[in-house]
């Protein structure tokens, strides 16, 4: 092949190649958090304020594992790991995020009142010790909001993934609903759907299958007192025609605390549901914390007899 | 049709912007794929381009075709990402085994099936970028210098190198 033939061949190459998959869902998720022009005055004011108080461009320290390297991840920058590398990012003074292999993550905000990363794909392990709602991880299907915790979050670029909480609690706000995930629980996320219904680590396969299939009857049949967090979420997600049967099953497995009435719960009264959640959460917390030390009655949270 | 979609997208209509994406995604992806030589990176850069385009839509004043504006934005996004990566790698000493980072870079990606595409993907980074921008996309050396931050002479040298390597590879 001479040069003329090469140039002719280059000229014949197609100008358009369809991506192997639809990239729009990932773009759409990022547009939702994208700062558009009407934020410009606010951003400019913040920049001026930062200069006035003598602060440079915000960033997090990061350390690559399996090597001695360190560096700074600045706002707007991405960090991407290959098949074997891992990076620990220090989240200000409130905690750290370990970025696992094959992960792409961006630092979106690094302020004392808003620490925010965006996980495009891959897996992270976050450990944060601060007041709730300071640390956020945005994903293609919603935002994981730290309520004082440690968790693992893994996700593909479309939003199919898993959140596993190992300490504290995380709220996952998605496009199709939200989920509260306490210590010892897991929630799956699905592209275009958002978070599913959380379940405890030792949930039965039958329950997990029923949750994945949104099979209300199957969920009610498979649920044990230990699975109260799943029924609490289900109560908020079913239509009003099914709500009573879900509530009655939940109340039979874990009797509601004082102040929680059937009528108010069926009306999805926020304060009442929050009260029920606190009760269920406290039982689960005791059960997980005392695992191997003391048997806890999953109906009451007291010592099992 | 495109003008109307652009006008609506500029007013904040995300559906219109999605229609623009559907019209132009293939063009942007092809450019990103050839500039990066990697299908996964091309997907990510394509997403970056459309997110950036949404943020900068108001700066588009119709002085050129929207597709041309988007095309130039795509080149900028790929080049900026490359510069950021280089800066980060200069600040950070990565893993103990540097070969790990090179793994997978030499082989062309899925989707580049014909010989020339595979040969382009296997070119060294600088030579590949100049070949794609000059011989496929029609940019001048002056424009390439401006877009990539290299000197015009370097652009010419990289083009010579790219063509030489491609002919050598395709004549084997």
Domain contains A12: no
- When comparing pLDDT for A40 and A82, which is higher? A82
Whether residue A63 is found in the same domain as residue A188: yes
Going by C-alpha positions, the residue among A303, A284, A291, A297 that lies closest to residue A231 is: A284
Q: Which CATH architecture has domain B1-107?
A: Orthogonal Bundle (1.10)
Whether residue A163 is found in the same domain as residue A62: yes
Query: H helices within B57-124, ranges in order?
Result: 66-91, 99-102, 115-121
Give the CATH number of domain B113-172.
Answer: 1.10.10.10
Whether residue A209 is found in the same domain as residue A187: no
Q: How far is A21 from chain B (nearest CA, A)?
A: 9
Partner-chain residue, chosen from A9, A27, A84, that has the shortest CB–CB distance to B51: A27
Task: Report d(CA B172, CA A270) in Å as an integer.
Answer: 72
Task: Work out the widest C-alpha separation in chain A, in whole angstroms.
Answer: 88
CB contact under 8 A, A71 and B88: yes
| Residue of chain B whose alpha carbon sits nearest to that of A38 | B55
CB pairs under 8 A between A and B: 125
Domain contains A44: no
Q: Does position A127 have pLDDT exceeding 70, yes or no?
A: yes
Please report, for the domain that includes residue A114, its CATH number.
2.60.120.1440
Domain contains A109: yes
pLDDT at A284: 87
- Domain of residue A140: give its range: 23-34+54-196
Domain contains A11: no
A27-58 pLDDT per residue, tens: 888 876 654 444 445 555 555 554 444 444 56
**Model-level pTM?**
0.59
Q: Which residues 6+ apart lie within 8 Å of A225 measured at CB?
A: A253, A254, A297, A298, A299
Stretches where chain B sits below pLDDT 50 are 90-113
Whether the Cβ atoms of residue A164 and residue A186 lie closer than 8 Å to each other: yes
Q: Does position A165 have pLDDT exceeding 60, yes or no?
A: yes
pLDDT at A54: 40
Task: Report d(CA B42, CA B120) in Å as an integer.
Answer: 14
Residues in A touching B12 (Cβ below 8 Å): 36
B7-36 pLDDT per residue, tens: 999 988 999 999 999 999 999 999 999 999
Domain contains A151: yes
With pLDDT > 90 as the criterion, what percentage of chain A qualifies?
53
Per the structure, the count of domains in chain A is 2
Whether residue A166 is found in the same domain as residue A293: no
State the angle between helix axes of B66-91 and B14-36 in degrees (0 to 180), rounded to the nearest 10.
60
> Where does a domain end: A174, A196, A218?
A196
pLDDT at B105: 40
ipTM summary value:
0.80
Band (pLDDT 50/70/90 cuts) for residue A72 is confident
């Amino acid at each position: 092949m001479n040069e003329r033939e090469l140039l002719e061949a280059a000229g014949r190459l197609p100008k358009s190649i369809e991506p192997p998959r639809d990239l729009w869902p990932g773009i759409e998720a990022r547009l939702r958090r994208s700062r558009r022009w009407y934020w410009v005055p606010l951003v400019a004011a913040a920049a001026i304020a930062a200069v006035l108080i003598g602060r440079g461009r915000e960033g997090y320290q990061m350390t690559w594992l399996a090597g001695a390297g360190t560096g700074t991840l600045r706002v707007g920058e991405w960090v991407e790991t290959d098949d074997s590398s891992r990076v620990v990012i220090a989240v200000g003074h409130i905690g750290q995020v370990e970025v696992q292999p094959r992960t792409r993550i961006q630092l979106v905000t690094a302020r004392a009142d808003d620490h925010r990363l965006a996980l495009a794909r891959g897996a992270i392990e976050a450990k944060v010790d601060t007041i709730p709602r300071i640390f956020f991880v945005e994903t293609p299907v919603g935002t994981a909001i730290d309520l004082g915790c440690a968790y693992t979050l893994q996700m593909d670029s479309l939003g199919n993934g898993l959140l596993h909480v190992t300490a504290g609690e995380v709220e996952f706000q998605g496009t199709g609903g939200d989920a509260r995930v306490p210590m010892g629980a897991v929630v799956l996320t699905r592209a275009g759907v958002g978070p599913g219904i959380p379940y405890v680590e030792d949930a039965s396969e039958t329950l997990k299958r029923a949750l994945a299939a949104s099979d209300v009857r199957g969920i009610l049949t498979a649920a044990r007192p230990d699975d109260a967090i799943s029924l609490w979420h289900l109560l908020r997600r079913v239509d009003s025609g099914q709500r009573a049967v879900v509530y009655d099953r939940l109340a039979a497995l874990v009797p509601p605390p004082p102040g929680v009435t059937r009528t108010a719960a069926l009306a999805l009264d926020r304060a009442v549901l929050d009260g029920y959640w606190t009760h269920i959460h406290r039982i689960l917390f005791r059960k997980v914390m005392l695992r191997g030390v003391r048997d806890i009655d999953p109906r009451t949270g007291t010592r099992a007899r | 049709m495109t003008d109307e979609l652009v006008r609506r997208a500029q007013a904040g209509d995300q559906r219109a912007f999605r229609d623009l994406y559907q019209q132009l995604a293939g063009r942007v992806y092809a450019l990103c794929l050839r500039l990066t030589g990697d299908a996964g990176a091309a997907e990510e850069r394509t997403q970056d381009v459309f997110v950036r385009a949404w943020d900068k839509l108001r700066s588009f004043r119709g002085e050129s075709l929207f597709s041309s504006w988007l095309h130039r934005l795509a080149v900028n996004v790929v080049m900026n990402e490359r510069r950021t990566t280089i800066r980060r790698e200069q600040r950070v000493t990565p893993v103990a085994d540097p070969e790990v980072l090179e793994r997978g870079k030499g082989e062309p990606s899925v989707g580049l099936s014909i010989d020339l595409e595979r040969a382009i993907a296997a070119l060294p980074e600088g030579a590949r970028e100049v070949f794609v921008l000059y011989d496929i996309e029609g940019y001048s050396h002056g424009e390439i210098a401006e877009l990539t931050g290299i000197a015009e002479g370097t652009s010419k040298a990289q083009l010579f190198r790219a063509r030489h390597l491609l002919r050598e590879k395709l004549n084997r």
